[in-house]
Chains A and B, each alone.
Chain A
Amino acid sequence: MILKDDEILKKKFQIVICGSGPAGISIALELEKKKIECLIIEAGDEFYSEKAQSRYKGEVYGNFPEDLSVLRLSQFGGTSGHWGGTCRTLDNYDFQNWPIKKSEIDPFLDSSCEILNIPKSFREKNINNNLKIIEFQESKVRFYEKYYEHIKRSKFINLALNCIFFNIKMSGNKVTELFLKSTKDISIKTNFLVLACGGIENSRLLLWFRENNKEISKDLPIGNYWMEHPFKKIGSGVGNFKAIRKNFENNFESFKNFRNWGNFTVSISPTQNLISQKNILNSAVFLTLHDRNNDNFKNNIKDLLCVAPSLSNHILDLFNKDLLCGITLSSSWEQNPQLENRITLSSSKDFSGIPLTKLNYQLSDLSLQTANEMVNQIGNYFIDKDLGRLGAYKTIENLSSFVSEAGYHHIGGTIMGKSKKSSVVDKNLKLHNIENLYICGSSVFPTGGHANPTLSIVQLSLRLGEHLIKRLKTI
Protein backbone atom coordinates (compact mmCIF):
# COMPACT_ATOMS: atom_id res chain seq x y z
CA MET A 1 0.00 0.00 0.00
CA ILE A 2 1.28 3.49 -0.80
CA LEU A 3 0.75 5.85 2.13
CA LYS A 4 0.46 9.63 2.35
CA ASP A 5 1.77 11.61 5.35
CA ASP A 6 -1.52 11.56 7.26
CA GLU A 7 -1.94 7.84 6.75
CA ILE A 8 1.62 7.24 8.07
CA LEU A 9 0.78 9.21 11.21
CA LYS A 10 -2.44 7.29 11.84
CA LYS A 11 -0.72 3.89 11.98
CA LYS A 12 1.92 2.39 14.28
CA PHE A 13 4.54 0.23 12.59
CA GLN A 14 6.56 -2.34 14.51
CA ILE A 15 9.25 -2.30 11.84
CA VAL A 16 10.34 0.66 9.73
CA ILE A 17 12.73 0.07 6.83
CA CYS A 18 14.51 3.06 5.37
CA GLY A 19 15.26 2.59 1.63
CA SER A 20 13.40 0.67 -1.09
CA GLY A 21 16.40 -0.81 -2.93
CA PRO A 22 17.06 -4.57 -3.20
CA ALA A 23 17.96 -4.69 0.52
CA GLY A 24 14.87 -2.87 1.87
CA ILE A 25 12.39 -4.64 -0.41
CA SER A 26 13.86 -8.10 0.33
CA ILE A 27 13.46 -7.56 4.09
CA ALA A 28 9.85 -6.40 3.58
CA LEU A 29 9.08 -9.46 1.42
CA GLU A 30 10.39 -11.80 4.12
CA LEU A 31 8.21 -10.07 6.76
CA GLU A 32 5.20 -10.20 4.45
CA LYS A 33 5.55 -13.99 4.17
CA LYS A 34 4.83 -14.15 7.92
CA LYS A 35 2.06 -11.52 7.61
CA ILE A 36 4.06 -8.91 9.50
CA GLU A 37 3.36 -5.33 8.58
CA CYS A 38 6.16 -2.86 7.94
CA LEU A 39 6.69 0.62 6.53
CA ILE A 40 9.29 1.35 3.84
CA ILE A 41 10.42 4.98 3.70
CA GLU A 42 11.80 5.98 0.31
CA ALA A 43 13.45 9.37 -0.29
CA GLY A 44 12.93 9.14 -4.06
CA ASP A 45 9.81 9.04 -6.17
CA GLU A 46 8.27 6.22 -8.18
CA PHE A 47 10.65 7.24 -11.01
CA TYR A 48 13.89 9.20 -11.30
CA SER A 49 13.77 12.84 -10.18
CA GLU A 50 16.59 15.42 -10.27
CA LYS A 51 15.59 16.67 -6.84
CA ALA A 52 15.87 13.31 -5.04
CA GLN A 53 19.06 12.52 -6.95
CA SER A 54 20.70 15.80 -5.87
CA ARG A 55 21.07 14.36 -2.35
CA TYR A 56 23.64 11.95 -3.76
CA LYS A 57 26.23 14.60 -4.63
CA GLY A 58 29.49 14.39 -2.73
CA GLU A 59 33.18 15.26 -2.53
CA VAL A 60 35.75 12.68 -3.60
CA TYR A 61 39.44 12.64 -2.65
CA GLY A 62 41.96 10.12 -4.03
CA ASN A 63 41.60 8.00 -7.14
CA PHE A 64 37.93 7.05 -7.02
CA PRO A 65 36.85 6.89 -10.67
CA GLU A 66 33.32 8.30 -10.66
CA ASP A 67 31.07 11.15 -9.64
CA LEU A 68 29.05 10.00 -6.62
CA SER A 69 25.83 11.59 -7.86
CA VAL A 70 25.53 9.42 -10.98
CA LEU A 71 26.33 6.00 -9.57
CA ARG A 72 23.43 5.32 -7.24
CA LEU A 73 19.77 5.95 -7.94
CA SER A 74 17.41 7.55 -5.45
CA GLN A 75 14.03 6.21 -6.55
CA PHE A 76 11.73 3.28 -5.81
CA GLY A 77 13.82 0.11 -6.35
CA GLY A 78 17.03 2.05 -5.64
CA THR A 79 20.11 1.43 -7.77
CA SER A 80 18.55 -1.72 -9.25
CA GLY A 81 17.04 0.79 -11.73
CA HIS A 82 20.32 0.69 -13.66
CA TRP A 83 22.41 -2.13 -12.22
CA GLY A 84 24.13 -4.68 -14.48
CA GLY A 85 22.43 -7.74 -12.95
CA THR A 86 25.56 -9.90 -12.73
CA CYS A 87 25.30 -12.27 -9.78
CA ARG A 88 27.51 -14.70 -7.96
CA THR A 89 27.77 -15.94 -4.38
CA LEU A 90 30.77 -15.03 -2.24
CA ASP A 91 33.39 -17.77 -1.77
CA ASN A 92 33.76 -19.70 1.49
CA TYR A 93 37.13 -18.08 2.02
CA ASP A 94 35.68 -14.57 1.65
CA PHE A 95 34.20 -15.05 5.13
CA GLN A 96 37.53 -15.36 6.92
CA ASN A 97 37.17 -11.94 8.54
CA TRP A 98 33.40 -12.03 8.90
CA PRO A 99 31.73 -12.92 12.21
CA ILE A 100 29.53 -15.40 10.29
CA LYS A 101 30.33 -18.25 7.93
CA LYS A 102 29.01 -18.66 4.41
CA SER A 103 26.86 -21.54 5.70
CA GLU A 104 24.84 -18.98 7.69
CA ILE A 105 23.60 -17.18 4.58
CA ASP A 106 23.45 -20.27 2.31
CA PRO A 107 19.94 -21.23 3.52
CA PHE A 108 18.68 -17.96 1.97
CA LEU A 109 20.21 -18.60 -1.46
CA ASP A 110 17.16 -20.26 -3.03
CA SER A 111 14.75 -17.47 -2.03
CA SER A 112 17.28 -14.81 -3.06
CA CYS A 113 17.62 -16.37 -6.52
CA GLU A 114 13.81 -16.36 -6.79
CA ILE A 115 13.75 -12.64 -5.99
CA LEU A 116 16.44 -12.01 -8.62
CA ASN A 117 14.91 -14.48 -11.14
CA ILE A 118 18.16 -16.39 -11.64
CA PRO A 119 19.07 -20.11 -11.63
CA LYS A 120 20.63 -21.34 -8.38
CA SER A 121 23.73 -22.51 -10.15
CA PHE A 122 27.13 -21.00 -9.35
CA ARG A 123 29.40 -23.83 -10.39
CA GLU A 124 33.16 -23.79 -10.32
CA LYS A 125 35.92 -26.16 -11.31
CA ASN A 126 39.64 -26.07 -10.60
CA ILE A 127 41.83 -25.98 -13.71
CA ASN A 128 44.96 -26.43 -11.62
CA ASN A 129 45.97 -25.91 -7.98
CA ASN A 130 45.83 -22.15 -8.29
CA LEU A 131 43.02 -21.31 -10.67
CA LYS A 132 39.36 -22.16 -11.09
CA ILE A 133 36.71 -21.42 -13.68
CA ILE A 134 33.59 -19.87 -12.17
CA GLU A 135 30.00 -19.37 -13.24
CA PHE A 136 27.98 -16.16 -12.99
CA GLN A 137 24.26 -15.61 -13.50
CA GLU A 138 22.57 -12.61 -15.05
CA SER A 139 19.50 -11.09 -13.41
CA LYS A 140 17.15 -8.99 -15.49
CA VAL A 141 15.18 -7.86 -12.44
CA ARG A 142 14.52 -4.16 -11.88
CA PHE A 143 12.91 -3.97 -8.46
CA TYR A 144 10.53 -1.28 -9.67
CA GLU A 145 9.17 -3.46 -12.47
CA LYS A 146 8.93 -6.59 -10.38
CA TYR A 147 7.67 -5.22 -7.08
CA TYR A 148 5.95 -1.82 -7.42
CA GLU A 149 2.49 -3.18 -8.23
CA HIS A 150 2.94 -5.98 -5.71
CA ILE A 151 3.71 -3.52 -2.92
CA LYS A 152 0.92 -1.19 -4.01
CA ARG A 153 -1.55 -4.04 -3.47
CA SER A 154 0.15 -5.60 -0.43
CA LYS A 155 -1.71 -5.59 2.90
CA PHE A 156 1.53 -5.88 4.84
CA ILE A 157 4.06 -3.73 3.03
CA ASN A 158 3.42 0.00 3.32
CA LEU A 159 5.44 2.45 1.27
CA ALA A 160 5.99 6.19 1.68
CA LEU A 161 7.56 7.82 -1.40
CA ASN A 162 9.31 11.21 -1.51
CA CYS A 163 9.88 10.83 2.20
CA ILE A 164 13.38 11.52 3.50
CA PHE A 165 14.42 9.79 6.66
CA PHE A 166 16.16 12.68 8.32
CA ASN A 167 17.03 11.92 11.92
CA ILE A 168 16.39 9.84 15.04
CA LYS A 169 15.78 10.51 18.70
CA MET A 170 17.25 8.13 21.22
CA SER A 171 16.60 7.30 24.80
CA GLY A 172 19.23 5.17 26.54
CA ASN A 173 20.23 2.46 24.12
CA LYS A 174 17.03 2.60 22.05
CA VAL A 175 15.83 4.59 19.07
CA THR A 176 12.49 6.04 20.14
CA GLU A 177 11.45 8.40 17.37
CA LEU A 178 12.12 8.83 13.63
CA PHE A 179 12.03 12.22 11.92
CA LEU A 180 10.87 12.28 8.32
CA LYS A 181 10.74 15.08 5.76
CA SER A 182 7.89 14.63 3.33
CA THR A 183 5.34 17.26 2.26
CA LYS A 184 5.82 18.35 5.88
CA ASP A 185 8.08 17.34 8.77
CA ILE A 186 6.65 14.37 10.64
CA SER A 187 7.82 12.05 13.39
CA ILE A 188 6.84 8.43 14.03
CA LYS A 189 7.62 5.74 16.59
CA THR A 190 8.64 2.15 15.93
CA ASN A 191 10.03 -0.93 17.68
CA PHE A 192 12.71 -1.70 15.12
CA LEU A 193 14.43 0.51 12.60
CA VAL A 194 16.40 -0.84 9.64
CA LEU A 195 18.69 1.39 7.57
CA ALA A 196 18.87 -0.01 4.03
CA CYS A 197 19.88 3.14 2.17
CA GLY A 198 22.80 1.77 0.13
CA GLY A 199 26.55 1.30 0.52
CA ILE A 200 27.36 5.00 0.99
CA GLU A 201 24.17 6.42 2.49
CA ASN A 202 24.12 3.96 5.41
CA SER A 203 27.41 5.41 6.67
CA ARG A 204 26.42 9.00 5.88
CA LEU A 205 23.12 8.76 7.77
CA LEU A 206 24.66 6.98 10.73
CA LEU A 207 27.42 9.59 11.02
CA TRP A 208 24.74 12.29 10.92
CA PHE A 209 22.65 10.52 13.60
CA ARG A 210 25.75 10.28 15.78
CA GLU A 211 26.29 14.04 15.52
CA ASN A 212 22.80 14.47 16.96
CA ASN A 213 22.71 11.57 19.43
CA LYS A 214 25.46 11.06 22.02
CA GLU A 215 24.14 7.55 22.66
CA ILE A 216 25.84 6.31 19.48
CA SER A 217 29.41 5.63 20.59
CA LYS A 218 32.24 7.77 19.21
CA ASP A 219 34.36 4.60 19.16
CA LEU A 220 32.32 2.89 16.46
CA PRO A 221 34.34 3.02 13.21
CA ILE A 222 31.40 4.40 11.21
CA GLY A 223 32.35 5.20 7.61
CA ASN A 224 35.74 3.47 7.88
CA TYR A 225 37.12 0.58 5.81
CA TRP A 226 35.17 1.60 2.74
CA MET A 227 35.85 -0.52 -0.34
CA GLU A 228 35.03 -0.99 -3.99
CA HIS A 229 35.64 -3.57 -6.69
CA PRO A 230 38.25 -2.11 -9.06
CA PHE A 231 37.51 -3.01 -12.68
CA LYS A 232 40.03 -2.73 -15.48
CA LYS A 233 41.48 -4.32 -18.59
CA ILE A 234 44.54 -5.84 -16.96
CA GLY A 235 46.16 -7.77 -19.76
CA SER A 236 46.19 -8.85 -23.33
CA GLY A 237 47.65 -11.47 -25.59
CA VAL A 238 47.43 -13.67 -28.64
CA GLY A 239 46.59 -17.34 -28.84
CA ASN A 240 45.38 -20.34 -30.74
CA PHE A 241 41.66 -19.81 -31.10
CA LYS A 242 40.78 -23.48 -31.60
CA ALA A 243 43.03 -24.78 -28.83
CA ILE A 244 41.66 -22.28 -26.30
CA ARG A 245 38.05 -23.03 -27.12
CA LYS A 246 38.73 -26.75 -26.99
CA ASN A 247 40.57 -26.49 -23.67
CA PHE A 248 37.81 -24.52 -21.96
CA GLU A 249 34.70 -25.65 -23.75
CA ASN A 250 35.22 -29.36 -23.23
CA ASN A 251 34.93 -28.81 -19.53
CA PHE A 252 33.01 -25.60 -19.26
CA GLU A 253 30.59 -25.43 -22.13
CA SER A 254 27.69 -24.86 -19.78
CA PHE A 255 29.56 -22.08 -17.94
CA LYS A 256 29.51 -19.99 -21.07
CA ASN A 257 26.41 -18.07 -20.12
CA PHE A 258 28.44 -15.12 -18.89
CA ARG A 259 28.32 -11.86 -20.85
CA ASN A 260 28.43 -11.44 -24.54
CA TRP A 261 31.91 -9.99 -24.76
CA GLY A 262 33.93 -10.88 -27.85
CA ASN A 263 33.45 -14.34 -29.32
CA PHE A 264 33.99 -16.27 -26.16
CA THR A 265 34.46 -15.37 -22.50
CA VAL A 266 35.54 -17.51 -19.61
CA SER A 267 35.77 -16.30 -15.98
CA ILE A 268 38.79 -17.34 -13.94
CA SER A 269 39.31 -16.92 -10.21
CA PRO A 270 42.11 -17.77 -7.74
CA THR A 271 41.71 -20.85 -5.53
CA GLN A 272 42.09 -20.55 -1.76
CA ASN A 273 45.50 -22.17 -2.20
CA LEU A 274 46.75 -19.34 -4.45
CA ILE A 275 45.24 -16.62 -2.24
CA SER A 276 46.98 -17.90 0.86
CA GLN A 277 50.23 -18.90 -0.81
CA LYS A 278 50.78 -15.60 -2.61
CA ASN A 279 48.97 -13.49 -0.03
CA ILE A 280 46.70 -11.88 -2.61
CA LEU A 281 43.03 -10.83 -2.70
CA ASN A 282 40.11 -12.55 -4.39
CA SER A 283 39.54 -11.76 -8.04
CA ALA A 284 37.61 -12.62 -11.20
CA VAL A 285 39.38 -12.38 -14.54
CA PHE A 286 37.27 -12.41 -17.69
CA LEU A 287 39.25 -13.87 -20.57
CA THR A 288 37.78 -12.84 -23.90
CA LEU A 289 38.79 -13.91 -27.40
CA HIS A 290 38.70 -11.46 -30.31
CA ASP A 291 39.01 -11.83 -34.04
CA ARG A 292 41.73 -10.14 -36.10
CA ASN A 293 39.81 -6.91 -36.47
CA ASN A 294 40.39 -6.08 -32.84
CA ASP A 295 42.63 -3.02 -32.49
CA ASN A 296 44.98 -4.72 -30.10
CA PHE A 297 45.62 -7.69 -32.31
CA LYS A 298 48.36 -6.28 -34.58
CA ASN A 299 50.03 -4.29 -31.83
CA ASN A 300 50.11 -7.33 -29.58
CA ILE A 301 51.87 -9.39 -32.23
CA LYS A 302 54.47 -6.66 -32.84
CA ASP A 303 54.96 -6.20 -29.13
CA LEU A 304 55.32 -9.93 -28.49
CA LEU A 305 57.77 -10.58 -31.34
CA CYS A 306 60.02 -7.75 -30.19
CA VAL A 307 60.62 -9.55 -26.90
CA ALA A 308 60.15 -13.16 -28.00
CA PRO A 309 61.64 -13.51 -31.52
CA SER A 310 61.74 -17.31 -31.22
CA LEU A 311 57.98 -17.36 -31.33
CA SER A 312 57.88 -15.80 -34.83
CA ASN A 313 57.56 -19.06 -36.78
CA HIS A 314 54.90 -20.42 -34.49
CA ILE A 315 52.89 -17.19 -34.60
CA LEU A 316 53.23 -16.96 -38.40
CA ASP A 317 52.11 -20.57 -38.73
CA LEU A 318 48.98 -19.93 -36.62
CA PHE A 319 48.34 -16.72 -38.54
CA ASN A 320 48.52 -18.48 -41.90
CA LYS A 321 46.22 -21.24 -40.70
CA ASP A 322 43.77 -18.57 -39.55
CA LEU A 323 44.00 -19.83 -35.96
CA LEU A 324 45.49 -16.79 -34.30
CA CYS A 325 43.20 -14.62 -32.20
CA GLY A 326 43.52 -11.66 -29.85
CA ILE A 327 42.87 -12.08 -26.13
CA THR A 328 41.78 -9.50 -23.55
CA LEU A 329 41.91 -10.00 -19.81
CA SER A 330 39.52 -7.77 -17.86
CA SER A 331 39.12 -8.08 -14.14
CA SER A 332 36.93 -7.11 -11.25
CA TRP A 333 38.61 -7.82 -7.95
CA GLU A 334 38.75 -7.35 -4.24
CA GLN A 335 40.11 -4.34 -2.42
CA ASN A 336 41.55 -4.79 1.05
CA PRO A 337 39.94 -2.89 3.95
CA GLN A 338 42.04 0.16 4.85
CA LEU A 339 41.27 2.55 7.66
CA GLU A 340 42.12 5.60 5.52
CA ASN A 341 39.45 4.74 2.95
CA ARG A 342 36.44 6.26 4.59
CA ILE A 343 33.22 8.20 4.36
CA THR A 344 32.95 11.35 6.44
CA LEU A 345 30.55 14.28 6.38
CA SER A 346 31.10 17.31 4.18
CA SER A 347 30.52 20.86 5.39
CA SER A 348 27.90 21.34 2.61
CA LYS A 349 24.40 20.00 3.13
CA ASP A 350 21.71 18.57 0.84
CA PHE A 351 18.33 20.32 0.53
CA SER A 352 16.95 18.33 3.48
CA GLY A 353 19.76 19.54 5.76
CA ILE A 354 21.85 16.34 5.95
CA PRO A 355 25.59 16.93 5.29
CA LEU A 356 26.74 15.57 1.93
CA THR A 357 29.17 12.67 1.60
CA LYS A 358 32.93 13.14 1.64
CA LEU A 359 34.80 10.08 0.36
CA ASN A 360 38.51 9.40 0.76
CA TYR A 361 39.55 6.54 -1.47
CA GLN A 362 42.89 5.13 -2.53
CA LEU A 363 43.69 1.77 -4.01
CA SER A 364 46.46 -0.23 -2.34
CA ASP A 365 49.61 -1.85 -3.75
CA LEU A 366 48.14 -5.18 -2.68
CA SER A 367 45.23 -4.68 -5.07
CA LEU A 368 47.61 -4.17 -7.98
CA GLN A 369 49.76 -7.10 -6.89
CA THR A 370 46.62 -9.23 -7.07
CA ALA A 371 45.87 -8.16 -10.65
CA ASN A 372 49.50 -8.79 -11.71
CA GLU A 373 49.62 -12.19 -10.02
CA MET A 374 46.42 -13.26 -11.77
CA VAL A 375 47.84 -12.35 -15.21
CA ASN A 376 51.01 -14.19 -14.26
CA GLN A 377 49.12 -17.34 -13.23
CA ILE A 378 46.85 -17.37 -16.28
CA GLY A 379 49.83 -16.56 -18.54
CA ASN A 380 51.74 -19.56 -17.18
CA TYR A 381 48.68 -21.76 -17.58
CA PHE A 382 48.60 -20.70 -21.25
CA ILE A 383 52.28 -21.65 -21.64
CA ASP A 384 51.71 -25.05 -19.95
CA LYS A 385 48.78 -25.87 -22.19
CA ASP A 386 50.37 -24.26 -25.29
CA LEU A 387 47.33 -22.00 -25.79
CA GLY A 388 49.13 -18.71 -26.51
CA ARG A 389 50.99 -15.94 -24.73
CA LEU A 390 49.57 -13.34 -22.33
CA GLY A 391 50.97 -10.26 -20.67
CA ALA A 392 50.01 -7.65 -18.10
CA TYR A 393 49.28 -4.07 -19.16
CA LYS A 394 51.86 -1.66 -17.80
CA THR A 395 48.97 0.45 -16.48
CA ILE A 396 48.64 -2.02 -13.60
CA GLU A 397 52.33 -1.83 -12.74
CA ASN A 398 52.04 0.98 -10.23
CA LEU A 399 49.38 3.03 -8.54
CA SER A 400 50.33 6.33 -10.13
CA SER A 401 49.19 5.16 -13.57
CA PHE A 402 46.16 3.21 -12.39
CA VAL A 403 42.55 4.37 -12.47
CA SER A 404 39.74 1.87 -12.03
CA GLU A 405 36.92 1.96 -14.57
CA ALA A 406 34.12 1.07 -12.16
CA GLY A 407 33.08 2.57 -8.84
CA TYR A 408 29.80 0.65 -8.73
CA HIS A 409 29.99 -1.66 -5.72
CA HIS A 410 29.99 0.22 -2.43
CA ILE A 411 31.25 -1.98 0.35
CA GLY A 412 32.07 -1.40 4.03
CA GLY A 413 31.63 1.68 6.17
CA THR A 414 29.33 0.01 8.73
CA ILE A 415 31.16 -3.31 8.88
CA MET A 416 30.00 -6.38 10.75
CA GLY A 417 32.16 -7.86 13.52
CA LYS A 418 32.49 -8.97 17.12
CA SER A 419 34.50 -6.08 18.50
CA LYS A 420 32.87 -2.74 19.26
CA LYS A 421 36.14 -0.98 18.45
CA SER A 422 36.70 -2.44 15.00
CA SER A 423 33.16 -2.97 13.73
CA VAL A 424 29.83 -1.14 13.69
CA VAL A 425 27.20 -3.90 13.68
CA ASP A 426 27.12 -7.37 15.23
CA LYS A 427 26.54 -10.62 13.37
CA ASN A 428 22.77 -9.97 13.35
CA LEU A 429 23.42 -6.54 11.74
CA LYS A 430 22.35 -4.70 14.91
CA LEU A 431 24.32 -1.61 15.83
CA HIS A 432 26.63 -2.43 18.76
CA ASN A 433 25.08 -1.20 22.03
CA ILE A 434 21.86 0.01 20.42
CA GLU A 435 18.89 -2.29 20.97
CA ASN A 436 16.71 -1.66 17.94
CA LEU A 437 18.76 -0.15 15.10
CA TYR A 438 19.80 -2.48 12.27
CA ILE A 439 21.82 -1.81 9.11
CA CYS A 440 21.51 -3.83 5.91
CA GLY A 441 23.37 -3.71 2.59
CA SER A 442 26.92 -4.11 1.36
CA SER A 443 28.05 -1.50 3.90
CA VAL A 444 28.08 -4.32 6.49
CA PHE A 445 30.51 -6.54 4.50
CA PRO A 446 33.85 -6.63 6.41
CA THR A 447 35.54 -7.72 3.16
CA GLY A 448 34.13 -7.74 -0.35
CA GLY A 449 35.48 -10.80 -2.19
CA HIS A 450 35.18 -10.33 -5.93
CA ALA A 451 31.52 -11.30 -6.40
CA ASN A 452 29.06 -8.58 -7.37
CA PRO A 453 27.40 -7.75 -4.06
CA THR A 454 23.64 -7.73 -4.63
CA LEU A 455 22.96 -11.45 -4.36
CA SER A 456 24.75 -11.50 -0.98
CA ILE A 457 22.87 -8.32 0.04
CA VAL A 458 19.56 -10.06 -0.67
CA GLN A 459 20.68 -13.17 1.26
CA LEU A 460 21.64 -11.03 4.27
CA SER A 461 18.35 -9.11 4.01
CA LEU A 462 16.26 -12.28 4.14
CA ARG A 463 18.32 -13.47 7.10
CA LEU A 464 17.71 -10.13 8.83
CA GLY A 465 13.97 -10.45 8.08
CA GLU A 466 13.96 -13.84 9.80
CA HIS A 467 15.88 -12.43 12.77
CA LEU A 468 13.42 -9.53 13.16
CA ILE A 469 10.49 -11.95 13.11
CA LYS A 470 12.11 -13.84 16.01
CA ARG A 471 12.73 -10.62 17.93
CA LEU A 472 9.16 -9.44 17.45
CA LYS A 473 7.98 -12.57 19.23
CA THR A 474 9.97 -11.56 22.32
CA ILE A 475 8.34 -8.16 22.83
Chain B
Amino acid sequence: MHNKLINFDRRKFNKIFILNITFFLTTKFFLLKENFLNYYPKNIRKIKWILSKNDL
Protein backbone atom coordinates (compact mmCIF):
# COMPACT_ATOMS: atom_id res chain seq x y z
CA MET B 1 0.00 0.00 0.00
CA HIS B 2 2.73 2.31 0.94
CA ASN B 3 4.47 1.51 -2.31
CA LYS B 4 1.26 1.97 -4.25
CA LEU B 5 0.78 5.33 -2.69
CA ILE B 6 4.26 6.36 -3.57
CA ASN B 7 3.71 5.19 -7.16
CA PHE B 8 0.46 7.07 -7.34
CA ASP B 9 2.18 10.14 -6.04
CA ARG B 10 4.94 9.71 -8.56
CA ARG B 11 2.46 9.30 -11.38
CA LYS B 12 0.67 12.42 -10.19
CA PHE B 13 3.95 14.22 -9.92
CA ASN B 14 5.00 13.09 -13.39
CA LYS B 15 1.74 14.32 -14.88
CA ILE B 16 2.05 17.66 -13.17
CA PHE B 17 5.69 17.85 -14.11
CA ILE B 18 4.98 17.14 -17.78
CA LEU B 19 2.15 19.65 -17.85
CA ASN B 20 4.35 22.18 -16.18
CA ILE B 21 7.29 21.68 -18.43
CA THR B 22 5.09 21.85 -21.54
CA PHE B 23 3.57 25.08 -20.32
CA PHE B 24 6.96 26.43 -19.44
CA LEU B 25 8.48 25.57 -22.80
CA THR B 26 5.58 26.90 -24.83
CA THR B 27 5.51 30.20 -23.00
CA LYS B 28 9.26 30.43 -23.26
CA PHE B 29 8.98 29.72 -26.98
CA PHE B 30 6.37 32.42 -27.42
CA LEU B 31 8.36 34.77 -25.31
CA LEU B 32 11.48 33.99 -27.29
CA LYS B 33 9.64 34.39 -30.55
CA GLU B 34 8.28 37.70 -29.37
CA ASN B 35 11.72 38.62 -28.21
CA PHE B 36 13.26 37.55 -31.50
CA LEU B 37 10.83 39.60 -33.52
CA ASN B 38 11.45 42.61 -31.36
CA TYR B 39 15.10 41.96 -31.02
CA TYR B 40 16.03 44.67 -33.50
CA PRO B 41 12.93 46.82 -33.69
CA LYS B 42 12.44 49.07 -36.67
CA ASN B 43 12.72 52.29 -34.75
CA ILE B 44 16.29 51.65 -33.66
CA ARG B 45 17.53 50.59 -37.07
CA LYS B 46 20.15 53.08 -38.12
CA ILE B 47 20.60 52.18 -41.76
CA LYS B 48 18.50 52.48 -44.89
CA TRP B 49 19.81 49.59 -46.98
CA ILE B 50 20.28 49.57 -50.72
CA LEU B 51 19.06 46.13 -51.77
CA SER B 52 18.24 44.18 -54.88
CA LYS B 53 14.82 42.53 -55.39
CA ASN B 54 16.31 39.09 -54.68
CA ASP B 55 17.50 40.16 -51.22
CA LEU B 56 13.99 40.68 -49.86
Q: Do B50 and A375 touch across chains, with their CB atoms under 8 A apart?
A: yes
Q: Which residue of B lies closest to A379 (CB)?
A: B50
B3: CB under 8 A from chain A? Answer: no
How distant is A274 from chain B, measured CB to nearest CB, in Å? 15
Question: Cβ of B52: which chain A residues have Cβ within 8 Å of it?
Answer: 383
Q: Which of the candidate stretches B5-13, B16-24, B25-33, B40-48 sits at the interface with the other chain?
A: B40-48
Q: Which residues of B contact A302 (CB under 8 A)?
A: 39-40
Decide yes or no whether A311 CB sits under 8 A from chain B.
yes
Q: How many Å lie between the Cα of A392 and that of B50 in the bound state?
A: 8
- Asked whether A394 lies within 8 Å of B50 as measured between CB atoms, the reply is no
B34 contacts chain A at the CB level, 8 A cutoff? no
**Cβ-closest chain A residue relative to B42:** A306
B47 and A236 contacting across the interface, CB-CB below 8 Å: yes
- Look across to chain A and name the residue whose beta carbon is closest to the beta carbon of B41: A306
Instruction: Say yes or no for A391: interface residue by CB 8 A criterion.
Output: yes
- Assess whether A393 is in contact with B49, with CB atoms less than 8 Å apart: no
B48, A397: Cβ atoms under 8 Å?
A: yes
Residues of B within 8 A of A309 (CB): 56
User: DSSP majority for the B interface?
Assistant: loop
A369 at the interface (CB under 8 A from B): no
* Residue in chain A with minimal CB distance to B50: A379
Q: What chain B residues lie within 8 Å of A86 (beta carbons)?
A: none
Question: Which of A376, A380, A393 is in CB contact (< 8 Å) with B47?
Answer: A393
How many angstroms between the C-alpha atoms of A407 and B40 in the bound complex?
34
Given contacts A302-B39, A302-B40, contact A310 B55 (CB under 8 A): yes
Q: Using Cβ atoms and an 8 Å threshold, which residues of chain A touch B39? A: 302
Assess whether A200 is interfacial by the CB under 8 Å rule: no
Known contacts A302-B40, A303-B40, A310-B56; A389/B51 CB under 8 A:
yes
Could you tell me the distance in whole angstroms from the C-beta of B36 to the nearest C-beta in chain A?
A: 10
A380 pairs with B45, CB closer than 8 A: no
**Contact indicator A391/B47 (Cβ below 8 Å):** yes
Q: Within 8 Å of chain B (Cβ to Cβ): is A475?
A: no
Are A306 and B40 within 8 A (Cβ)? Answer: yes
Instruction: Tell me which residues from 387 to 411 in chain A have a Cβ below 8 Å from any Cβ of chain B.
Output: 389-395, 397
Chain B residues with CB under 8 A of A397: 48
Asked if A391 meets B50 with Cβ closer than 8 Å, knowing A303-B45, A306-B45, A308-B56, the reply is yes
Q: Do B55 and A392 touch (CB < 8 A)?
A: no
Q: Pick from B46, B48, B49, B54 the residue with the most CB of A within 10 Å.
A: B49
B50 to chain A, nearest CB (A): 3
Tell me if A307 is interfacial: C-beta within 8 Å of chain B.
Answer: yes
With a cutoff of 8 Å between Cβ atoms, the chain A residues found around residue B50 in the complex are: 375-376, 379-380, 382-383, 389-392
Residue A235 interfacial (CB < 8 Å): yes
Residues of A contacting B48 in the complex (Cβ-Cβ under 8 angstroms):
391-394, 397
* B47 partner residues in chain A, CB cutoff 8 A: 235-237, 300, 303-304, 391-394
Query: Which residue in chain B gives the minimum CB-CB distance to A235?
Result: B47
The interface bits of chain A over 309-333 (1 if a CB of B lies within 8 angstroms of the residue's CB, else 0) are 1110000000000000000000000
- Which of chain B's residues have a CB closer than 8 A to the CB of A311? 55
Q: Does B46 lie within 8 Å of A303, measured CB to CB?
A: yes
CA separation between A391 and B50, bound complex, in Å? 5
Q: Which of A236, A303, A382 has the most CB of B within 10 A?
A: A303
Whether B49 pairs with A391 at a CB distance below 8 angstroms is: yes
CA A395 to CA B39, docked complex, whole Å: 22
**B55 and A308 contacting across the interface, CB-CB below 8 Å:** yes
C-alpha gap A389/B54 in the complex (Å):
12
**Contact for B49 among A299, A310, A389, A395, CB less than 8 A:** A389
B43 to chain A minimum Cβ distance, whole angstroms, is 10
Chain A residues whose CB sits within 8 angstroms of the CB of B51 once the complex forms: 307-308, 383, 389
Closest to B47 in A: A391
Q: What are 20 contact pairs spanning A and B, CB under 8 A? A: A303-B47, A303-B49, A304-B47, A307-B45, A307-B49, A307-B56, A308-B55, A308-B56, A310-B56, A379-B49, A379-B50, A389-B50, A389-B51, A392-B50, A393-B47, A394-B45, A394-B46, A394-B47, A394-B48, A395-B46
13 further interface pairs, Cβ-Cβ under 8 Å (given A308-B55, A391-B49, A393-B46): A236-B47, A302-B40, A303-B45, A308-B56, A309-B56, A379-B49, A379-B50, A380-B50, A382-B50, A390-B49, A391-B48, A392-B48, A394-B46
Measured CB to CB, the residues of A under 8 A from B are 235-237, 299-300, 302-304, 306-311, 375-376, 379-380, 382-383, 389-395, 397
